[in-house]
Structure 1
Amino acid sequence: MSAALNVVRLERLSPDERRRCLTRTESDLGPYLEKVVPIIAAVAEEGDEAVARFTRQFDKAPVTADRLAATPEDFIRARKALAPEVAEAIAFAAANITKFHQDQKPEEMWLHEISPGAFAGDRISAIPSVACYVPRGKGSFPSSVMMTCIPAKVAGVEKIAVVTPPSPDGNIDDATLVAAEAAGVTHVYKCGGAQAVAAVAHGTATIPRCAKIVGPGSPWVVAAKRLVADLIDTGTPAGPSEAIIFADGTVDGRLCALDLLIEAEHGADSSAWLVTADPEVADAAAKALPQFFKEMSPERVAYAEAVLKGPQGGIMLCPDAKSAIAFINDYAPEHLQIMSREPMAWLGSFKHAGEILLGEYTPSTLGNFVLGPNHVLPTGGWAKTASALSVFDFMKRTSIGHVTRMGYDALARQARIIARYEGFDAHANAVSELRRKFLKN
């Protein structure tokens, strides 16, 4: 195996070394939190001026406070400038993503008879507004526009804003604008990082205050979300990309290496592991990686090498499948790909993952862009308790109850007993004989 690649044997790791393999870059936000505090404070006090200043400082883009919003002319320019095949691919992806989330959408209300004459259920309604954060630092991501905006539209959110860092020329990426238009969104703003999070949390003269913010981002974004969580719902924890490929002995290790690079190329802050109990798969993957690097740009190779040679990625060779599965369940990856000729045989073993992609024909590329399920997924181990972004993230449930005269007596008697036991006099009185005096026959 390549000495340049991080190759780990699970059984040789100490408990501390195993824990280090489970960590991600957002696990330690301390340095970022300290730097983000003054950014949030400045945006809260100065509004658009601070947003523009930080955009010039961090994104090196000539943005001014009076030009933060995309104009109708920007959308027209983007449509004309974007290559037709890219526009066609965006339309294809948008259709699949829309179909998936429409199928996911729950009924607007349900009401079931809990006991004779007593009914309870939920009414489902959209949240009032949301900011969709679309990162840009290591590339432009129209797919993230669709993955955040489309389910919000399907859910029925009335006010949707996109915040995204501008290009070095001060404009918004063409594909990003076309994707926003495909999602039915026209409010797009030239700001990213902590200043964008602060802007939608506090609101500025140009950028609206929103009820929620969704979308993946850097540790700067994750830190900012944590600091404004008392002002805005910060949604599913979504930090730098991470993936685990689990492979049994039925697949070609070179295919595993090909797919291992998908999330590794996102950036040096990503995490990517090939986890297998098969030495031949591990060896074939390690030997294939240099060949695949030749098919990538130097920038993406640098990112992937930083991940696969560092503490947050590489190949993990396990003594058996049981230990491999245990490690993966402890890791709770954002993306999990089961590389096997019979992936369904393994599916039940994995308990925690943002998404699970099955088999040799389902690389993350398809899930990230066109398959339909959402690619905004919980990172940093949050897949143990959180889910993929969905229409449910843009909706809220209101409990509904209705008790008829026929159902009242049975419920009132039991509720009165509990109310008295807990010492709530008014609770008990409201379901006592006192109530009967005021009820019409």
Structure 2
Amino acid sequence: MKIIELTGSVSLRRDVESGTSEQTKAVKSVIEQVQTEGDRALRTLTERFDGVTLPRFTVSEDEKKEAYENVSDRELSALRNAIRRIRAFHERQLRESWFFTEEDGTILGQKITPLDSAGVYVPGGKAAYPSTIMMNVIPAQVAGVKRIVMASPPGKDGKLNAAVLVTAQELGVEEIFKIGGAQAIAALAYGTETVPAVDKITGPGNIFVALAKREVFGHVDIDMIAGPSEIVVLADETAPPEYVAADLLSQAEHDEMASSVLVTTSKALAEKVKEEVEKQLDSLPKKDIATSSLENYGAIYVAQDMAKAVEAVNELAPEHLQVMTEKPEMLLGKIRHAGAIFLGHYSPEPVGDYFAGPNHILPTNGTARFSSPLTVDDFTKKSSIISYSKEAFARDREDIMTIARLEGLEAHARSIEVRNIKGEESK
């Protein structure tokens, strides 16, 4: 990793979400094929991209039972404990409808309604991400979404990963489909003979999944277009270098395009962390991926003071921010932009990934400047409630007509004018 004196602006933003013109064209073709041919297209595309011929896309009862046989008691216990903690956190986010009545009898308010349905995409094939299921399904369930549909690509054996399937069952997800890629997003958005269309699609995926989500947005809602993972560690001289190095590597192993950055006020810490990263890399199973990530998107910035360091962090607006300083809580009020903030030496990013409770689906690529983590609110919609009393209408009618005519909308004004309160009262 390079050690850089922090003198100017910094950025994590990369043009990784737009895709190439060929990728965009391919995704549009897949979506059109699924819209036109339905299940037949899904079968053809699964054979082409996943190398699997499936007699059906649904998961059999035998597969569900078999999945439990391939998950140890220790693993099942950990999954259940994580589900409990994540659910408890998200239940605190649930908001209720509200109304208030003014003195003249006017009633105003906001009605909160859960979405009817949601589709959850879970990456699969070679990898297994049970935590992704928890982070998508639990807030939807807490919100009150009645129908939750899950799609995940099958492995070469035509099955879903055991941990993924067990987690879905533990959460009570009943509609599970063995479909991946852009074709899964298209199926969830538009529906096929087998797969029901949903109102919102959430969950991460590769560039083709991201582009497909972007294409169907507007017909359905989506959570976000997520880019490669990223972490920024903000540290002073009190941070243990072996902790910092391990935390930087925890993101670097994700993807060659993942970004791991240290911002510190200590040149001595910077040197020690660089050495420790190289040392820990040697024994890392995904050494090649992590090495590429660090070489291209990793950096160690040395700031002249903590004020400059915090300013750099806010400019980076990272997905994950770890604050490893002597008194991390003292800096919290100064941090404006970060998807998730981890305070102290014993709050490494994987605690949030899997177990603490807050959602790990976070804004990336600098979008934490204006975006938030996935929450229960993302699976609800709001309706405004307006019930004007006669007294309030009489009081405000002239102002309303004035504004309507100011905008050149005479029919709007006449909608008010026709309700001649004074005339009605004189009858």
Same fold, judged at TM 0.5 (above): yes
**Aligned partners of 1:289 and 1:314: how far apart in 2?**
11
What does residue 120 of structure 1 align with?
Answer: 108
Give 3-state SS (helix, strand or coil) of 1:217's partner.
Answer: coil
Conserved 8 A contact 1:32-1:220: yes
Conserved 8 A contact 2:67-2:163: yes
**Aligned partners of 1:160 and 1:236: how far apart in 2?**
18
- Give, in angstroms, the shift of residue 63 of structure 1: 3.4
1:191/1:315 CA distance change after superposition, 3 Å: farther
Conserved 8 A contact 1:236-1:378: yes
What does residue 284 of structure 1 align with?
Answer: 272
In structure 2, the gaps of 5 or more residues are none
- Give, in angstroms, the shift of residue 154 of structure 1: 0.9
Give 3-state SS (helix, strand or coil) of 2:400's partner.
Answer: helix
| 1:117-156 pair list within 5 angstroms | 117-136=105-124, 139-156=127-144
What does residue 219 of structure 1 align with?
Answer: 207
What does residue 302 of structure 1 align with?
Answer: 288
| 1:19-418 pair list within 5 angstroms | 21-23=12-14, 25-26=16-17, 30-60=21-51, 62-64=52-54, 66-107=55-96, 109-113=97-101, 116-136=104-124, 139-297=127-285, 300-310=286-296, 312-418=297-403
- Give, in angstroms, the shift of residue 37 of structure 1: 2.4
- Give, in angstroms, the shift of residue 367 of structure 1: 0.4
1:438/1:303 CA distance change after superposition, 3 Å: farther
Deviation by residue 1:265-314 (Cα, 9 ceiling, x = unmatched)? 112132221222321221111111233234432xx22221111111x223
**Aligned partners of 1:320 and 1:29: how far apart in 2?**
41
**Aligned partners of 1:210 and 1:440: how far apart in 2?**
54
The amino acid across from 1:190 in the alignment is K
- Give, in angstroms, the shift of residue 406 of structure 1: 4.0
Question: What CA RMSD, in Å, does the superposition of the two structures yield over aligned residues?
Answer: 2.3
The amino acid across from 1:306 in the alignment is S
1:116/1:281 CA distance change after superposition, 3 Å: farther
Conserved 8 A contact 2:404-2:413: yes
**Aligned partners of 1:7 and 1:168: how far apart in 2?**
43
- Give, in angstroms, the shift of residue 230 of structure 1: 3.3
**Aligned partners of 1:331 and 1:24: how far apart in 2?**
15
**Aligned partners of 2:272 and 2:18: how far apart in 1?**
31
The amino acid across from 1:96 in the alignment is R
**Aligned partners of 1:119 and 1:277: how far apart in 2?**
55
1:439/1:225 CA distance change after superposition, 3 Å: farther
1:381/1:268 CA distance change after superposition, 3 Å: same
1:263/1:439 CA distance change after superposition, 3 Å: farther
1:333/1:32 CA distance change after superposition, 3 Å: farther
The amino acid across from 2:373 in the alignment is A
**Aligned partners of 2:330 and 2:208: how far apart in 1?**
40
Conserved 8 A contact 1:82-1:175: yes
What does residue 10 of structure 1 align with?
Answer: 6
**Aligned partners of 1:202 and 1:400: how far apart in 2?**
31
Conserved 8 A contact 1:138-1:266: no
- Give, in angstroms, the shift of residue 28 of structure 1: 5.1
**Aligned partners of 1:204 and 1:83: how far apart in 2?**
36
Q: TM-score, normalised by structure 1?
A: 0.89
Give 3-state SS (helix, strand or coil) of 1:316's partner.
Answer: strand
Deviation by residue 1:382-426 (Cα, 9 ceiling, x = unmatched)? 212211111111000010112223433323343233223333333
1:440/1:8 CA distance change after superposition, 3 Å: farther
**Aligned partners of 1:163 and 1:439: how far apart in 2?**
62
Conserved 8 A contact 1:246-1:338: yes
Deviation by residue 1:329-387 (Cα, 9 ceiling, x = unmatched)? 22221111111231111112221111111111111111011111111111122212211
Q: TM-score, normalised by structure 2?
A: 0.92
1:143/1:393 CA distance change after superposition, 3 Å: same
In the alignment of these two chains, the number of paired residues is 426
1:114/1:58 CA distance change after superposition, 3 Å: farther
